[in-house]
């Protein structure tokens, strides 16, 4: 087994720079905070720019399907930057989970409908979501959806990014179906994570097109890809929390000193920095394993998700506490990161579920 490349390539750094400068321009903290209580919390203009101008949605898609033929490594770099700014765009739902589902299906065999949708997702002409709860994890049971001659009925709770979707990819048994979102009821619910709100989907004899291939395998694979890419988002969240808190503790004075000169606080930040360094290595390993289809892919992804989920939550909790009173206000953006980090901890499998699945893979059995 060759060692994974755990660094960022020059191309990845260039991609990061262009995403970061776009987000600095269009999704600063005040902008994001102002949007989250509006009728459409997702920033669809920004989403279009990311897809069409930056090409952030086409990275892992083969060139033959209108993609860039890059890999999940580059996708993970975009996710890291989106995490850093908690930008409210349906990247995870569409460019990661839906695209990974379609890519896996097409890896099993040709399907004209799957190909057409993936091309549209890649070029930014459409947005899709995999209709599973954000809390679904690789191997989790899914809500029953009945299929009567292509008419689907069922309820799916807590789906991320669904309000932006043109198309829903709905698992019914072991078959995946495409459903025009307009023929389903997508009902936003008040969500813990303000910047990635979830919705309930209600299908009532919704017309659908079945896709060829083993849908259950595609869903499982996509959730694993999602868990791996999410680790990079969590690194971005943690990194923002760390750097913002360090900057604040340098300028905040109490007792006639910058509070960052007190050892009690310095040590907490040093520990946090150390944990972020470990999380970054684990997240890069997962992205590289997804890109190369490494033999130990599942181990690497589960390690990264178990660790990075906890690191992001810890970083956000530390950021809030170390900001003191201002950290408890709605006005300060730290709560957006705490809510994202906590929702991300549940997303695509909790750390405990990933550990439980990891243990037998590495020969640790009950």
359 binds another protein (CB under 8 A): yes
Q: Alpha helices, DSSP H only, in the chain?
A: 10-26, 29-35, 44-49, 72-84, 99-108, 112-123, 215-251, 263-292, 297-323, 334-346, 351-361
Longest dimension (CA), the chain: 74
210 binds another protein (CB under 8 A): no
Per-residue interface string for the shown chain with another protein, residues 324-353, x marking contact by CB under 8 A:
---------------------------xx-
In this complex, which beta carbon is closest to another protein, that of residue 185 or of residue 261?
Answer: 261
In this complex, which beta carbon is closest to another protein, that of residue 184 or of residue 301?
Answer: 301
11 binds another protein (CB under 8 A): no
In this complex, which beta carbon is closest to another protein, that of residue 111 or of residue 288?
Answer: 288
d(CA 92, CA 40): 17
139 binds another protein (CB under 8 A): no
Q: Which of residues 303-322 bind another protein (CB under 8 A)?
A: 303, 306-307
Rounded least distance, CB 61 to another protein, Å: 28
Measure Cα distances from 292 to 73, 102, 118, 197, 305 in Å.
9, 18, 21, 32, 18
10 binds another protein (CB under 8 A): no
DSSP of 40-105: --S-HHHHHHIIIII-TTSTTS-GGGTS----HHHHHHHHHHHHHTT---SIIIIIIIIHHHHHHH
Per-residue interface string for the shown chain with another protein, residues 234-273, x marking contact by CB under 8 A:
------------x--xx------xx-xx-x--xx-xxx-x
In this complex, which beta carbon is closest to another protein, that of residue 167 or of residue 357?
Answer: 357
Rounded least distance, CB 277 to another protein, Å: 4
Supply angle C-alpha 120, 301, 364, rounded to 5.
150
295 binds another protein (CB under 8 A): no
Supply angle C-alpha 118, 119, 120, rounded to 5.
90
DSSP 192: S
Residues that bind another protein (CB under 8 A): 3-7, 246, 249-250, 257-258, 260-261, 263, 266-267, 269-271, 273-274, 277-282, 284-285, 303, 306-307, 351-352, 355-356, 358-359, 362-366
């Amino acid at each position: 087994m060759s060692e994974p490349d755990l660094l960022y390539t020059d191309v990845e750094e260039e991609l990061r720079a262009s995403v970061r400068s776009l987000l600095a321009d269009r999704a600063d903290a005040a902008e994001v905070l102002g949007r989250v209580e509006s009728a459409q919390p997702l920033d669809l203009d920004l989403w279009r720019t990311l897809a069409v101008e930056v090409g952030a949605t086409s990275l892992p898609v083969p060139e033959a399907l209108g993609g860039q033929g890059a890999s999940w490594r580059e996708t993970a770099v975009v996710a890291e930057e989106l995490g850093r700014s908690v930008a409210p765009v349906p990247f995870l739902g569409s460019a990661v989970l839906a695209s990974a589902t379609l890519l896996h299906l097409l890896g099993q065999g040709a399907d004209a409908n799957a190909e057409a949708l993936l091309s549209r997702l890649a070029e930014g002409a459409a947005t899709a979501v995999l209709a599973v709860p954000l809390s679904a994890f690789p191997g989790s049971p899914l809500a029953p959806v009945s299929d009567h001659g292509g008419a689907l009925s069922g309820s799916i709770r807590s789906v991320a990014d669904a309000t932006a979707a043109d198309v829903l990819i709905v698992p019914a048994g072991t078959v995946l179906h495409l459903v025009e979102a307009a023929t389903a009821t997508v009902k936003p619910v008040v969500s813990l994570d303000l910047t990635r709100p979830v919705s309930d989907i209600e299908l009532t004899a919704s017309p659908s097109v079945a896709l060829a291939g083993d849908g259950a395998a595609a869903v499982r694979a996509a959730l694993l890809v999602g868990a791996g890419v999410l680790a990079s988002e969590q690194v971005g969240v943690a990194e923002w929390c760390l750097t913002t808190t360090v900057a604040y503790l340098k300028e905040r004075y109490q007792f006639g000193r910058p509070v960052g000169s007190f050892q009690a606080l310095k040590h907490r930040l040093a520990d946090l920095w150390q944990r972020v360094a470990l999380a970054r290595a684990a997240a890069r390993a997962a992205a590289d394993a997804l890109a190369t289809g490494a033999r130990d892919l599942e181990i690497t992804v589960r390690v990264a998700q178990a660790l990075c989920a906890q690191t992001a939550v810890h970083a956000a909790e530390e950021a809030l506490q170390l900001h003191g009173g201002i950290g408890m206000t709605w006005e300060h953006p730290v709560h957006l990161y705490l809510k994202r980090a906590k929702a991300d901890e549940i997303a695509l499998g909790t750390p405990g579920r990933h550990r439980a699945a990891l243990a037998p893979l590495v020969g640790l059995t009950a």
